[in-house]
């Protein structure tokens, strides 16, 4: 069921989104070679709590950490551990913040030290695919409009678009209806209404789009070991466009 948010809920999501955005900026400054993904998890947890909010991935369906840290060929939902980041790695950080009863969800892919040009390009194209996806979106648009735009853009660079995971409604819960695939056909799928809040999150690979879930039940990685990037924001659908809440 799609939940259209009222003004009070939207205001809470704006505040939640600002805390999430600030957390990602702090994490970006914190990341360097030699630290572990657990260090980032602890750092993020402390920061979010200091802002009076909650990291809402923690405990979600049994998820054991406050953030997801997905290094190199890991696409999403990597669990923070004692692995040290190395110069040249790329790391996607994905998290949800709960504030005044409302969740927001966002992700970025960061570089560790000196990163190769091809990895930098993957990160840039993944980010731009998000903006292509939401470019013409407003109340009355359809979910397939986003999917087609993301897919066309990412595939024009020869990249793979992960199909098994998708964006989603967000706000009262981390995951709400509708699902927002990163592929598809414009003019198809659910209609977007004013007051809906959704997370749009392209997951793009340098090689094959096929992925598998590791034995821990969470970590999603590329089948062919190719690098993956993730870019996500929570946005509000308005009469004439969108308002990005986590930027
Ligand atoms: N942004 C992630 C998603 O939409 C957050 C999931 S919560 C976690 O899948 F428990 F998986 F961390
Ligand atoms: Co999400």
The model's pLDDT over 143-194, given as tens digits with 9 standing for 90+, comes to: 999 999 999 999 999 999 999 999 999 999 999 999 999 999 999 999 999 9
| Ligand 1 atom index nearest CA of 218 | 11
Interval 182-219: pLDDT, tens: 999 999 999 999 999 999 999 999 999 999 999 999 99
In short, whether 68's Cβ falls inside 6 Å of ligand 1 is yes
- Residue 246, classed as helix, strand or coil, is coil
Instruction: Give the model's pLDDT for residue 67.
Output: 98
Instruction: Give the model's pLDDT for residue 126.
Output: 99
Residue nearest to atom 10 of ligand 1 (CA): 57
- As a whole number of angstroms, the distance between CA 242 and CA 136 comes to 9
In short, whether 60's Cβ falls inside 6 Å of ligand 1 is yes
Answer whether 80's CB lies under 8 Å from 203's CB. no
All domains of the chain in start order, with CATH: 7-244 (3.90.230.10)
In short, whether 161's Cβ falls inside 6 Å of ligand 1 is no
Instruction: Report CA(61)–ligand 1 centroid distance (Å).
Output: 9
In short, whether 63's Cβ falls inside 6 Å of ligand 1 is yes
Q: What b/e sequence results for 221-244 when a residue is b if at least 16 CB atoms lie within 10 Å of its CB, and e otherwise?
A: bbeeebbbbbbbbbbbbeeebbeb
Query: pTM for the full model?
Result: 0.98
Instruction: Report CA(13)–ligand 1 centroid distance (Å).
Output: 17
């Amino acid at each position: 069921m799609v939940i259209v948010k009222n003004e009070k809920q939207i205001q809470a999501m704006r505040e939640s989104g600002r805390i999430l955005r600030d957390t990602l900026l702090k994490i970006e400054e914190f990341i360097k070679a030699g630290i572990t993904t657990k260090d980032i998890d602890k750092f993020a947890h402390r920061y979010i709590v200091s802002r009076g909010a909650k990291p809402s991935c923690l405990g979600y369906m049994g998820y054991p950490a406050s953030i997801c840290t997905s290094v190199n060929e890991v696409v999403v939902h990597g669990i923070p551990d004692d692995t040290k980041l190395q110069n040249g790695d790329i790391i996607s950080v994905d998290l949800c913040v709960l504030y005044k009863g409302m969740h927001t969800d966002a992700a970025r892919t960061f570089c560790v030290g000196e990163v190769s040009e091809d990895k930098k390009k993957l990160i840039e194209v993944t980010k731009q695919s998000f903006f292509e996806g939401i470019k013409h979106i407003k109340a009355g648009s359809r979910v397939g409009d986003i999917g087609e735009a993301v897919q066309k853009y990412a595939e024009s660079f020869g990249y793979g678009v992960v199909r098994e995971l998708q964006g989603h409604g967000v706000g009262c819960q981390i995951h709400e209806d509708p699902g927002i695939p990163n592929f598809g056909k414009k003019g198809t799928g659910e209609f977007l209404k004013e007051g809906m809040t959704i997370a749009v999150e392209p997951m793009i690979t340098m090689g094959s789009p096929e992925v598998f879930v590791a034995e821990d039940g969470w970590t999603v990685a590329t089948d062919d070991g190719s690098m993956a990037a993730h870019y996500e924001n929570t946005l509000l659908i308005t009469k004439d466009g969108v308002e990005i809440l986590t930027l």
